[in-house]
Chain A
Amino acid sequence: MTERYQLIVIGGGPAGLGAAIRARENGLSRILIVERDVELGGILNQCIHNGFGLHYFGEELTGPEYAGRVTDRLEGQGIDIVCDTMVLSIESGAEGHRLCLMSAKEGYRFLDTKALVLAMGCRERTRGAIGIPGTRVAGILTAGTAQRYVNMEGYMVGRRVIVLGSGDIGLIMARRMVLEGAEVLACVEIMPYSGGLARNLVQCLDDYGITLLLSHTITRIKGKSRVEGVTVQQVDASLKPIEGTEQDFDVDTVLLSVGLIPENELTRAAGITIDPRTGGPVVYENKETAVDGIFACGNVLHVHDLVDYVTEESEEAGKAAAMYVLGQEKEHPEKLEKEAIDVVAGPGIAYTIPQKIRPAGESEKTRIFFRVRQPYKSPKRLVLRDGEQIIASSRRPYMAPGEMEHLMVNQHMLEMIKGRTLVLSVED
């Protein structure tokens, strides 16, 4: 027996919740949210620090508070929710999508849906992904795993700590470890700049006197059973360690904050095209993937710096999913496909979301999100071009890879360049 939903949302973090609520507001009545964890809220549940919601709610909330705000909106909406349940696979057919779900309570079952929103979040890169030499010992954890132990389980994971990578979670955990009585000896970053938010660099490192070693990396981890020390070396422009710059740190813990990867195993298995630059699916302006009726939002699409943008993005996806189900899209998809504009990351740009725009889309303006490849400390111009023609441009006083940026493009401009390729780049 299979049930049929109008929309199933995979993932009950802020992205999934935002999409479900907006789809409900736009007229869908049979919606299901599937969450693998025992409660809704996603990664926010372990982010007990402040700094969420400034854009969206206009006030500073902790992660769990932000999650609470969003979950409260589900109240009385008649949206079905199953937690402690994992989606194992997606199979797409002409009639919609069939999901395989598994849980202790309901067992192994299949559910059908017309539309699907992917909101599975992201995972952390591990030691293997960056290949640090040395022994395999206890005391090497990703910052997010440490965050879970410390904030949710109530255990400390070390006494003398070094943080590798200056991603936001690493910065936040550096501070958290200090507050819990540990000593944080340094934060080591291989790039000449940090990948974290400027505000976190100040509030988590500077305010606690933790040194940030840019253009440095850990080149060896020592220890028999638990970490007993690490060697740090400076790196040259090609990121190779420079001989003679070795410094030893006497630590028992290495926290890794070396990047996040969108969690797209399901997406890949479902045959949805993945953009190697974002690690997430290729999407249109309404967050629809290459497969009809499957949308994506939040960290599964690209890694966000602020949850506020996750919520906004998920609302777009939820609305688009509702329109898809209710057949309210303006034009036939095949025609739209022919007119689609490709958006390409040019010099200085790491990636763009969306990667494709269908000009007949709903809204007046389309917002292109992107990250730059390197920090720009002096003012630069962002330019979106169709060959020589400038479609949109904007001046920014400062840009850094750690901060997500966006650029607005007017609909009428897009109407004129159907089927073309737009290149976004940083110019002087």
Chain B
Amino acid sequence: MYDVAIIGAGVVGRALAYTLSSFELSVALIEKENEVAMGASRANTAIIHAGFDPTPESMMGQLSVEGMRRCYQLCEELDVEHRKTGSLVVAFEESQKSVLEILYRQGVENGCQGLELIDGQETRRREPKLSEGIQAALWAPEAGVINPWEFTLAMAEVAVRNGVVFMPDREVTGLAWQGDHYQVTFSLPEVVQARFVVNAAGVNSDLIHQMVATSAFEIVPTRGEYYLLDRTVGPLVHSVIFYSPTTQGKGVTISPTIHDNFIIGPNSEIIEDRSDTGVTRTGMDHIGEMAIQMLPSLDLRANIRNYAGVRANSRRGDFYIRMSAEHFLDLAAIKSPGLTCAPSIARLAADLLEEAGLPMRKKSLWKGGRRVIRFKEIPEEERQAFIKDNPLYGRVICRCETITEGEIVAAMKREIPPVSIDGVKRRAGTGMGRCQGGFCGPRVLEILARESNRHPLTVEEDGMGSFILTAETKGGCAHD
């Protein structure tokens, strides 16, 4: 019997697991995929929003600035890649300018600091490549970019280190209240019992909600597609550039990534199939056009990857956070800026659980913190000595991003080891560059198989069933 079962190992479930791991509680984190951060938490714009977007009355407005500040703090404590870049919302026409003023006022009320309304000339002084057509902008110095899956993983690793049980490959299919606890059932013949259940199932959060309560909200899955451009086009922009919302809807964003590449997107399309993360020609063309309007010199041929994420939007237009049934907490409809708000959502969730009767006693022994060795960050003069002690850090496996075998092997030894090629990618950063794993893929597969004692044929690229190799050749394995 667990004290708490959290459904969904996205950033929200993870932030809560992290928070709860410091209390005397037994916690299970249940996830349908084979890994942490397989939903919206891995396919998003990766921005730490400053907090001027949501209205002050909304839950999002109340959680944004707290979340943003806590994000930066956690990034420092957990050694998560991030950079405070600041952001600009740019306006081309009068109607957009008045939107900027509204955003400014909202921001001030939400507690953002350093907001500034600037004219077109000043905008281009700060970001020289931006279009001459831009007339005004809202500058928010507190915005930044983050490595979203590392953020999720980092909290997950600390949670697991402190006793949280991670249960991947389990899709929750039923929840039944037994008078003092829930019976959680899966597609597998297995049952988990927990006194409290937390719904952090992202785009499926309405379905989980309906297992215990009457429908109070409905998820409208809304897909956003992206381009990822190679850093050789850069530097395009230094800060995050948002297109000011118009009557035609929200515009796209151009943002640097923590790895100095550039993200362009997303569009916004309501889709039927919640799991459809495919990209479309229409979507890509639309994003391209919008982006070129802001950045006329943009060259989309530097594209190294297109991807898409699905937002857990609801018609209410806000997060849905409340105790919806006996011992059942919804952290549902966590749309953008859900990544930024995850830490404040977790704080609020812990408060709500305590109010609902979950006993919260701090653990006397809690091991926080996290350090990652990134070869690229080791000062030049220390590298020779470092490799002498750790020769694996001298062998480059990913040539685009200069990731060494040492970093991959270290990732294999962390609290939640990767099970797939993309799992290694999300931890060590291999295959993120312009050749997208073409060169390092076979090498990573070999290391992954070796370090986890698996046969190469069983290694997946990403989610369950995404096998890369299908058989041995007629000649058999060349290497044994």
Contact = CB atoms under 8 A, between A and B. Distances in A.
Given A105-B391, A149-B469, A154 B478 contact: yes
A225 B462 contact: yes
Contact of A104 (B232, B392, B464, B469): B392
A88 B375 CA distance: 13
B73 to A, nearest CB: 33
Contacts of B387: 102, 104, 107-108
Interface in B442-472: 442, 446, 456-457, 460-472
A244 interface: no
Contacts of B471: 155-156
A109 interface: yes
A188 B17 CA distance: 49
B470 A157 contact: yes
B469 A134 contact: no
B410 to A, nearest CB: 15
Interface string A347-382: 000000000000000000000000000000000000
B212 interface: no
Contacts of A149: 442, 468-469
A137 B464 CA distance: 11
A399 interface: no
B396 A138 contact: no
Contact of A225 (B280, B438, B464, B476): B464
Interface stretch (A120-128, A205-213, A336-344, A389-397): A120-128
Contact of A88 (B402, B441, B446): B402
Given A138-B462, A144-B438, A145-B441, A129 B301 contact: yes
Given A104-B394, A105-B391, A135-B278, A156 B442 contact: no
A36 interface: yes
B278 A126 contact: no
Contacts of A150: 473
A154 B473 contact: yes
A157 B478 contact: no
Contacts of A137: 461-462, 466
Contacts of B469: 149, 155-157
A142 B434 CA distance: 13
B293 interface: no
A385 interface: no
Given A103-B394, A137-B466, A268 B232 contact: yes
Contact of B477 (A103, A135, A155, A219): A155
B479 A104 contact: no
Contacts of B394: 102-108
A131 B470 contact: no
Nearest to A179: B474
A86 interface: yes
A4 interface: no
A133 B474 contact: no
A153 B456 contact: yes
B271 to A, nearest CB: 12
A69 interface: no
Q: SS class of chain A's interface: helix, strand, loop or mixed?
A: mixed
B467 A156 contact: no
Nearest to B275: A224
B281 A219 contact: yes
Contact of B473 (A128, A156, A158, A222): A156
Nearest to B478: A154
B44 to A, nearest CB: 15
Contact of A107 (B232, B388, B399): B388
Contact of B303 (A128, A136, A142, A157): A128
A148 interface: yes
A84 B388 CA distance: 15
B316 to A, nearest CB: 29
B436 interface: yes
Given A108-B384, A128-B228, A128-B436, A154 B396 contact: no
A123 B277 contact: no
B395 A84 contact: yes
A333 interface: no
B438 A133 contact: no
B281 A133 contact: yes
Interface in A141-175: 141-142, 144-145, 148-159
B442 A134 contact: no
A148 B277 contact: no
B461 A153 contact: no
B280 A133 contact: yes
B435 interface: yes
A221 to B, nearest CB: 8
B474 A134 contact: no
B466 A86 contact: no
Contacts of B464: 225
A222 to B, nearest CB: 8
B129 interface: no
A220 B276 CA distance: 13
Contacts of B399: 36, 86
A105 B228 CA distance: 35
Given A135-B277, A145-B439, A180-B474, 16 more contacts: A104-B392, A104-B394, A108-B394, A124-B438, A128-B304, A134-B278, A135-B278, A142-B438, A148-B442, A153-B456, A154-B478, A156-B470, A222-B278, A225-B464, A241-B281, A252-B470
Interface of B: 228, 232, 275-281, 284, 301, 303-307, 380, 383-384, 386-388, 391-396, 399-400, 402, 405, 434-436, 438-439, 441-442, 446, 456-457, 460-479
**9 closest Cβ pairs, A-B complex:** A138-B466, A225-B465, A108-B383, A138-B461, A107-B387, A104-B394, A154-B478, A154-B477, A225-B466
8 contacts: A102-B394, A107-B387, A129-B301, A137-B462, A139-B468, A141-B441, A145-B441, A224-B275
